Amino acid sequence: MKIAFGIDEETEVSKELRNYLKDTGHELPVQVINKPWPEVGFRVGKAVAEDVAHIGIAICYTGTGVTIAANKVPGVRAALCKDSDTAKGARLWNDANVLTLASQGLTIVNAKEILEMFLLTSVDPSEIENIKMLSIYDKSL
């Protein structure tokens, strides 16, 4: 899978997470490293919206900034996930296509759990109409 990856300040966990993604066969065609959080979120979101990547992962200290920035891109549904249950819900009910994480307190074990759940979960077919509404909202701006 092609994954756009970005972080505003590189950490040991983010390095390990990128290596893990590569080691498990994922491509990282877009990597935005050590850039301001608005740029990280926006460029990761743009890569997903333009089909350069299937999904995105964006990280900043609280995760909030990159989430806001990514969601400025029409077609992006970025979700800040603090655990695997949140990641599952983000995909299942919202078809989130950008996973955002808070680097504050993030461990590689937690990051992998969240990411794996995000990747393994598919949208609930009963939510398709709700997700289509988001596309309509994107176009109304």
Amino acid at 5: F
Q: Is 60 a catalytic site residue?
A: yes
Tell whether the torsion through CA atoms of 42, 96, 54 and 108 is positive or negative. Answer: positive
H/E stretch holding 102 reads strand 98-102
Which of 4, 21, 60, 90 is an active site residue? Answer: 60
Contact 62, 37 (CB under 8 A): no
CA atoms within 13 A on the CB side of 77: 20
- Of the chain, the end-to-end C-alpha distance in Å amounts to 31
Strand ranges in the chain using DSSP code E only, listed in sequence order? 2-7, 27-33, 55-60, 78-80, 98-102
Residue 68: phi and psi, rounded to 5, are -60, -45
Instruction: Please identify every residue annotated as catalytic.
Output: 60
